[in-house]
């Protein structure tokens, strides 16, 4: 059998392949292809890890899975399927998150090569650090629609995954969501929050009722602050009561409708300063709406269910859908044990109906054009189109890059871009030379150091931990000590040691302009020195800035039609939803069947699924994010490479055009009208 290989693979390489132990992180679209390719290339020791389970929408490309496997562990089924075809393969499967502390540097050190087949940045950052710490070469890859990319990361030789800052996912300000939505995505985010408020796990960051503390509504900043204080208290009460109140009405759809689309809107209208330059919303009245005719589905298109899903109905129909889905969901909730909540899932028809209806009604109230269920699903679930062919091409290239590494020719490795159509030079596949490490990288530099601009009187220890260290700097379990000569411990990763500090401000600990903090992540074997730059003039809604970082960008404007207008493979619908969720801000990119991930709603979902999976275990993973998925379009856009050798001018041109694409996106973003 090896005869087929002895031709193209030199004997030394064939031997290196058979002796290599490799780790595949993710058993989704790329992962399935990759496992097959590895086995058939002669790799005999393969580890695969994925925390996800199989969904129907995986089946159009994740060929190791069949209908009967839906709901089962991806890594486990992938292993079984490969073994069925190739019984002699040696595969070890983990149904787990790669961010679990069990997979420490020692674990990584046993591998010859690590291959990422992920779809989210949090896990990519983490594996990047683990491979740097263990000094194991990493092949990174991603696909989105027709686009794909493969690159190689080797400590001290190439750029690491985090050498170039990637634009962080913009989250939407609370007051845009609650008071002044200006784009469909704002209404969709609102509808998903509403789902959680009514049926799911309530979250203080997902408030849906009018925000009286909106500083824009007040004349005096001081007044706004006072109002904020007042409404915080008020908000607490309210938050508890949203669900309770809904329950007390027996989830009466008409009462809910009246509160959400009439009373709350009327309340918003009283904040007249908000509407001086905006078109004010128009409250909806249930009885009035009921006078409208219901939409009769377009007869012509009756034949195709897909088309039906793509139709935009009228307000009456969405009101009815709202009512129907509220009833269904409240029944589902009633069936649950006490204290258990529903989890938003774009593939759950009632949940999706609810969001479609609520988002559209709100869009209508705020004078936006309503959207089809198909489009809303795309935006709500951050769906990225995904096809078998692109994954096949990319997974083939991963193995070929792997062979170069195993034959000691890392200098021949390339970053390879797969384009949607041939560029003017008729190239579909564009190789670019790998860049050397960025000496200022805050991850792979010999002594990583950053400067963070923040207001020490406002930022709490918890914000430092969750938003700065975990979300921004991708640490999993940070320890922080103040370099004040005394080594004061500010944050400890040991449970219970420093919780008391959480809600205190940094200034309470003597942290001020020029203070240096040392943050360690034991698991990642990573130490980051943080210089604090105190500032009182950060923009509204900005809690901190990393000096020298690219400014945050909002994703492309999500309001263009999504199904046909696919300009670069990442359909704009795939864009951001929302989310202040600490661990998954960038899941923007996700191929959502792997789970819409992305928003708080799903965040909760992932956490609670996690709990399900880890029955019995200590839930160490409360802050772990969904790790193994494929596709993160981010890295499709961010890379800029220089080139050399024969293909040089081409590569350069290409990477420039990738960059241009990014800039175009940037432009679109500027156009997005977040008013808050």
Annotated binding residues: 26-31, 50, 58-61, 74, 97-98, 119-124, 160, 163, 441, 444
Q: Does 331 bind another protein (CB under 8 A)?
A: no
For residue 18, the tally of other CB atoms under 10 A from its CB is 14
Contact segment (CB under 8 A) with another protein among 223-231, 241-249, 368-376, 490-498 equals 368-376
The site map against another protein for 439-458 (x = CB under 8 A) is --------------------
Task: Tell me which residue of 586, 628, 566, 578 sits closest to 470, measured CA to CA.
Answer: 586
Of 67, 447, 486, 612, the one binding another protein (CB under 8 A) is: 67
The distance of closest approach from Cβ of residue 386 to another protein in the complex, given in angstroms and rounded to an integer, is: 4
Q: Which is nearer to another protein, 423 or 460 (CB)?
A: 423
Q: Looking at 175, 187, 413, 676, which residue is catalytic?
A: 175
The residue to which tokens 């704009």 are assigned = 572
Alpha-carbon dihedral sign for residues 71, 73, 75, 80: negative
Q: Does 311 bind another protein (CB under 8 A)?
A: yes
The distance of closest approach from Cβ of residue 119 to another protein in the complex, given in angstroms and rounded to an integer, is: 12
**Do 406 and 20 form a contact (C-beta atoms < 8 A)?**
yes
The distance of closest approach from Cβ of residue 491 to another protein in the complex, given in angstroms and rounded to an integer, is: 41
Task: Tell me which residue of 630, 30, 59 sits closest to 389, measured CA to CA.
Answer: 30
Q: Does 211 bind another protein (CB under 8 A)?
A: no
The site map against another protein for 284-303 (x = CB under 8 A) is -------------x------
Q: Does 327 bind another protein (CB under 8 A)?
A: no
Sort residue 144 into left (φ over 0), alpha (ψ -120 to 50) or beta: beta
Distance (Å, whole) CA 364 – CA 366: 5
The residue to which tokens 């890379």 are assigned = 639
Give start and end residues of each alpha helix (H) in 509-575.
Answer: none
Structure tokens at 621: 């993973």
Task: Tell me which residue of 133, 106, 183, 142 sits closest to 25, measured CA to CA.
Answer: 142
Q: Residue 337 — φ and ψ, nearest 5°?
A: -65, 160
Q: Which is nearer to another protein, 210 or 569 (CB)?
A: 569
Residues numbered 398 to 427 that lie near another protein (CB under 8 A) are: 399-400, 403-404, 409, 412, 414, 416, 420-422, 426-427
For residue 402, the tally of other CB atoms under 10 A from its CB is 26
Residues numbered 565 to 604 that lie near another protein (CB under 8 A) are: 566-569, 571, 573, 591, 593
Please enumerate in sequence order all residues whose Cβ is within 8 A of that of 228, keeping only pairs 6 or more positions apart, or say none: 213, 215
Q: Does 305 bind another protein (CB under 8 A)?
A: yes
The site map against another protein for 614-653 (x = CB under 8 A) is -------------------------------xxx--x---
Task: Tell me which residue of 160, 215, 253 sits closest to 443, measured CA to CA.
Answer: 160
Of 18, 21, 44, 59, the one binding another protein (CB under 8 A) is: 59
Residues numbered 68 to 107 that lie near another protein (CB under 8 A) are: 85-87
Q: Does 549 bind another protein (CB under 8 A)?
A: no
The distance of closest approach from Cβ of residue 574 to another protein in the complex, given in angstroms and rounded to an integer, is: 9
Residues annotated as binding site for ATP? 26-31, 50, 58-61, 74, 97-98, 119-124
Q: Which is nearer to another protein, 157 or 613 (CB)?
A: 157
Q: Does 2 bind another protein (CB under 8 A)?
A: yes
Helix, strand, or coil here: 509?
Answer: helix
Strands (E), 111-236: 113-116, 138-144, 147-153
The site map against another protein for 487-526 (x = CB under 8 A) is ----------------------------------------
Number of residues that bind another protein (CB under 8 A): 101
Q: Which is nearer to another protein, 478 or 573 (CB)?
A: 573
Q: Which is nearer to another protein, 60 or 513 (CB)?
A: 60
Residues numbered 373 to 392 that lie near another protein (CB under 8 A) are: 373, 378, 383-392
Q: Does 308 bind another protein (CB under 8 A)?
A: yes
Strands (E), 284-394: none
The neighbouring-strand residues paired with 296 are none
The distance of closest approach from Cβ of residue 400 to another protein in the complex, given in angstroms and rounded to an integer, is: 5
Q: Which is nearer to another protein, 87 or 485 (CB)?
A: 87
Q: Does 312 bind another protein (CB under 8 A)?
A: no
- What does the longest C-alpha to C-alpha distance in the chain come to? 80
The residue to which tokens 């596709």 are assigned = 631
Distance (Å, whole) CA 191 – CA 530: 38
Contact segment (CB under 8 A) with another protein among 112-120, 131-139, 255-263, 558-566 equals 558-566
Q: Does 339 bind another protein (CB under 8 A)?
A: no
The distance of closest approach from Cβ of residue 87 to another protein in the complex, given in angstroms and rounded to an integer, is: 8
Q: Which is nearer to another protein, 416 or 464 (CB)?
A: 416
Task: Tell me which residue of 95, 136, 113 sits closest to 24, measured CA to CA.
Answer: 113
Distance (Å, whole) CA 88 – CA 91: 9
Residues numbered 220 to 259 that lie near another protein (CB under 8 A) are: none
Kind of pairing, strands 516-521 and 488-491? unpaired
- Catalytic annotation present for 432: no
Helix, strand, or coil here: 425?
Answer: coil
Contact segment (CB under 8 A) with another protein among 60-68, 242-250, 472-480, 527-535 equals 60-68
DSSP string of 589-630? G--GGG----SHHHHHHHHHHHHHHTTTS--GGGGPPP----
Helix, strand, or coil here: 517?
Answer: strand
Distance (Å, whole) CA 189 – CA 186: 5
The residues annotated with a catalytic role in the active site are: 175
């Amino acid at each position: 059998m090896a005869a087929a290989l002895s031709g193209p693979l030199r004997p030394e390489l064939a031997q290196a392949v058979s002796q290599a132990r490799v780790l595949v992180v993710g058993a989704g679209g790329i992962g399935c292809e990759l496992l097959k390719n590895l086995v058939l290339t002669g790799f005999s020791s393969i580890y695969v890890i994925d925390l996800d389970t199989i969904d129907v929408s995986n089946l159009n490309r994740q060929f190791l899975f069949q209908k009967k496997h839906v709901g089962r562990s991806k890594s486990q089924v992938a292993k079984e399927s490969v073994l069925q075809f190739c019984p002699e393969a040696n595969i070890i499967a983990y149904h787990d998150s790669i961010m679990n502390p069990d997979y420490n540097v020692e674990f990584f050190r046993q591998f010859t090569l690590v291959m990422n087949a992920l779809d989210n940045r949090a896990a990519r950052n983490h594996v990047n650090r683990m491979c740097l710490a263990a000094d194991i070469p990493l092949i990174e890859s991603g696909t989105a629609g027709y686009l794909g990319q493969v690159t190689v990361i080797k400590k001290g030789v190439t750029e690491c995954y985090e050498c170039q800052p990637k634009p962080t996912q913009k989250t939407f300000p609370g007051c845009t969501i609650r008071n002044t939505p200006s784009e469909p995505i704002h209404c969709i985010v609102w509808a998903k929050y509403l789902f959680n408020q009514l049926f799911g796990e309530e979250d203080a960051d997902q408030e849906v009722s009018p925000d009286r503390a909106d500083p824009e509504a007040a004349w005096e900043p001081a007044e706004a602050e006072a109002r904020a204080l007042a409404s915080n208290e008020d908000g607490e009460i309210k938050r508890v009561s949203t669900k309770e109140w809904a329950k007390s009405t027996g989830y009466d759809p008409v009462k809910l409708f009246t509160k959400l689309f009439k009373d709350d809107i009327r309340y918003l209208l009283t904040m007249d300063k908000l509407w001086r330059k905006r078109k004010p919303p128009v409250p909806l009245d249930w009885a009035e709406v009921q006078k409208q005719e219901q939409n009769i589905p377009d007869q012509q298109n009756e034949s195709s269910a897909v088309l039906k899903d793509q139709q935009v109905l009228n307000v009456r129909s969405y009101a009815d859908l709202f009512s129907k889905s509220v009833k269904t969901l409240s029944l589902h909730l009633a069936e649950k044990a006490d204290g258990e909540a529903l989890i938003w899932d774009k593939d759950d028809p009632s949940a999706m109906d609810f969001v479609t209806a609520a988002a559209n009604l709100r869009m209508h109230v705020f004078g936006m054009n309503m959207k089809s269920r198909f489009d809303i699903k795309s935006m709500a679930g951050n769906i990225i189109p995904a096809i078998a062919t692109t994954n096949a091409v990319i997974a083939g290239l991963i193995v070929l890059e792997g062979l170069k590494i195993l034959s000691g020719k890392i200098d021949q490795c390339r970053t390879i871009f797969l384009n949607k159509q041939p560029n003017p030079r008729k190239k579909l596949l564009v190789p670019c030379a790998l860049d050397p490490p960025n000496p200022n990288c805050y991850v792979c530099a010999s002594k990583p150091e950053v400067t963070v601009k923040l207001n020490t009187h406002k930022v709490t220890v918890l914000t430092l931990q969750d938003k700065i260290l975990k979300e921004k700097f991708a640490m999993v379990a940070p320890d922080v000590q103040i370099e004040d000569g005394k080594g004061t411990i500010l944050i400890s990763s040991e449970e219970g040691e420093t919780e008391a500090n959480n809600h205190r401000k940094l200034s309470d600990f003597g942290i001020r302009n020029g203070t240096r903090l040392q943050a360690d992540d034991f698991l990642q074997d990573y130490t980051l020195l943080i210089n604090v730059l105190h500032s009182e003039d950060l923009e509204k809604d900005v809690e901190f800035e990393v000096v020298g970082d690219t400014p945050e960008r909002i994703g492309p404007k999500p309001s263009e039609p999504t199904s046909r207008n696919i300009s670069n493979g990442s359909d704009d619908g795939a864009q951001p939803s929302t989310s202040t969720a600490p661990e998954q801000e960038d899941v923007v990119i996700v191929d959502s069947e792997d789970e819409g991930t992305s928003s708080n709603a799903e965040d909760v979902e992932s956490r609670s699924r996690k709990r399900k999976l880890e029955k019995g275990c200590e839930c160490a993973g409360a802050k772990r994010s969904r790790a193994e998925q494929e596709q993160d379009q981010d890295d499709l856009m961010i890379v800029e490479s220089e080139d050399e050798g024969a293909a040089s001018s081409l590569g350069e041109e290409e990477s420039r055009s990738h960059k241009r694409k990014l800039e175009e996106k940037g432009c679109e973003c500027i156009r997005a009208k977040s008013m808050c």
